[in-house]
Structure 1
Amino acid sequence: MDERKRESIVAYLRRRMAELEIDPEDVAASIAADQERLRAAKYRDAFGNTWDGKGNTPQWVVQATSAGQSLEHFAIRVPAEPQSGKRADVDWRRDPFAGTRLATVRPEPLHA
């Protein structure tokens, strides 16, 4: 992002926060609470609803499981370890598209 654009957005946000009497500490506390809630969550749906698996089952889980979806489908999976910058080795000899048009044609960029 352009530095001037970034500074403009930051200035706008600070002005709006001052108008609404929002302290930066309030924003930081809210973000920390959201992150803690997400860390505790074990299940999440496509709309962002979460559940920690304890207490009463939320309505979105009841509806989804009643419709035949498994609870495991909504399980939040955490990556075992962070990916290193190195790509995994690929054995191109097993590529079914090697030597075909699919291996050489680049998709055209979409224009808005």
Structure 2
Amino acid sequence: MNKILRLLFTTILVFSVYHLIRDLLTNFGIHNYIVDFAHRPHLWCGKFYPWVCHWITVPPEIFTLIVSLIVLKRNRVGVLGVLVLLQVPLWLLLVLLP
């Protein structure tokens, strides 16, 4: 794996850890500057039960975290790495939803 991919997966891993911690702290009602930074409620969340909006991002974050570690340990992207890379544009699209 070249240096750019290694840096990309390291960045994804760090962001995943931050996002998972931030979501868990928010779900448990802990708020501070680090937790509330760049966090906003989405309009589509009002259509579901509150627990759906609170916990919907946790499984993909755990998946991304585990797969990023596997990819960095194996030093090979493979199918799992491609799945994580395909998630990046999807997450960027979902961030732009109202």
When normalised by structure 1's length, the TM-score is 0.30
When normalised by structure 2's length, the TM-score is 0.33
Where relative contact order (Cα < 8 A, 6+ residues apart) is larger, the structure is 2
